[in-house]
């Protein structure tokens, strides 16, 4: 059997190209996906809350509550926020965020979902972040657009575990991205390109009709808020085209649809 020599230069070039494309994808945040539904006893862990991390997650059924956890030291300031992918039917999808930790006023505890109440041990309270008016941004490489919702920097007065709770007060379902941290460090899920493609689909309940959105409103574009329709149209028409280099990288990784 004749052994075909390995082109070391080709391998090196491919490794460099892969590194570049991963850095392009993860430039803004380190992306990770909610692989299994989280609970109060099995939260999704964030290893370093200061590193900008995007947690791609889903409220799958009415009443679903998601949990995320990280550890802080006294005086540490962490940014927490949420973006909503511009998937059909999610124009008004706006979950709430609860941040359970030692120190905050317990007055907001009553706003938390029942599933989170078991986490409120002695001395713990909650910051509740209701959804803010949406702004729009476009991520050029993955060619995906999002609505930015709430965002807040919280300084934690005590050492300990912080649990972030995400739920929808009206029980709507849909996809969202919880963003934790600000410091940009390359990394995240290396299978991002494949998983984001699977993620970018509407959440449809078995009994839902074709005209129902995840939060119970019509998917008819004519019924969308005028500002969202105009902003979405603007983002679609003004979306930057991929450069020849990005098209080459996408072709090498079998993700040509990202650069059409």
CA 72 – CA 75 distance, rounded (Å) = 8
Q: How many of the other CB atoms lie within 10 Å of CB of 225?
A: 12
Q: How many of the other CB atoms lie within 10 Å of CB of 212?
A: 16
Q: Please choose, from the candidates 22, 95, 29, 30, the residue with its C-alpha nearest in 3D space to the C-alpha of residue 65.
A: 95
* Tens-place pLDDT, residues 151-195: 999 999 999 999 999 999 999 999 999 999 999 998 999 998 889
Ordered structural domains, the chain, with CATH = 36-200 (2.60.120.380)
pLDDT tens for the 260 residues of the chain, in order: 555 555 666 545 454 444 444 444 444 579 999 999 999 999 999 999 999 999 999 999 999 999 999 999 999 999 999 999 999 999 999 999 999 999 887 777 889 999 999 998 878 999 999 888 899 988 765 678 999 999 999 999 999 999 999 999 999 999 999 999 999 998 999 998 889 988 999 998 876 444 455 454 444 443 343 333 334 443 333 344 566 555 555 555 555 555 55
Whose tokens are 């995007």? That residue is: 54
Q: How many CA atoms lie within 13 A of 207 on its CB side?
A: 4
Q: Is the pTM of this model over 0.75?
A: no
CA 76 – CA 120 distance, rounded (Å) = 21
Q: How many of the other CB atoms lie within 10 Å of CB of 255?
A: 19
Whose tokens are 């990394």? That residue is: 187
């Amino acid at each position: 059997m004749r052994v075909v020599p390995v082109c070391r230069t080709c391998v090196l070039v491919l490794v460099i190209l892969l590194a570049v494309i991963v850095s392009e994808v993860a430039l803004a945040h380190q992306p990770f996906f909610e692989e299994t539904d989280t609970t109060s006893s099995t939260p999704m862990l964030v290893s370093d809350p200061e590193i900008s991390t995007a947690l791609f997650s889903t409220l799958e059924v009415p009443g679903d509550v998601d949990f995320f956890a990280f550890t802080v030291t006294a005086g540490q300031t962490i940014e927490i926020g949420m973006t909503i992918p511009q998937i059909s039917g999610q124009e008004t999808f706006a979950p709430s965020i609860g941040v359970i930790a030692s120190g905050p006023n317990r007055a907001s505890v009553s706003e938390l979902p029942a599933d989170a109440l078991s986490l409120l041990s002695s001395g713990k309270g909650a910051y509740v972040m209701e959804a803010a008016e949406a702004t729009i941004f476009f991520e050029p490489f993955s060619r995906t657009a999002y609505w930015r919702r709430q965002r807040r920097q919280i300084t934690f007065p005590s050492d300990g575990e912080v649990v972030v709770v995400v739920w929808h007060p009206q029980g709507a379902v849909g996809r969202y991205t919880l963003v934790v941290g600000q410091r940009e460090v390359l990394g995240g899920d290396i299978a991002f390109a494949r998983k984001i493609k699977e993620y970018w689909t509407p959440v449809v309940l078995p009994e839902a009709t074709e005209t129902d959105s995840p939060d119970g409103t019509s998917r008819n574009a004519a019924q969308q808020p005028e500002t969202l329709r105009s902003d979405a149209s603007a983002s679609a028409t003004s979306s930057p085209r991929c450069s020849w280099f990005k098209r080459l990288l996408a072709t090498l990784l079998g993700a040509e649809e990202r650069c059409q």
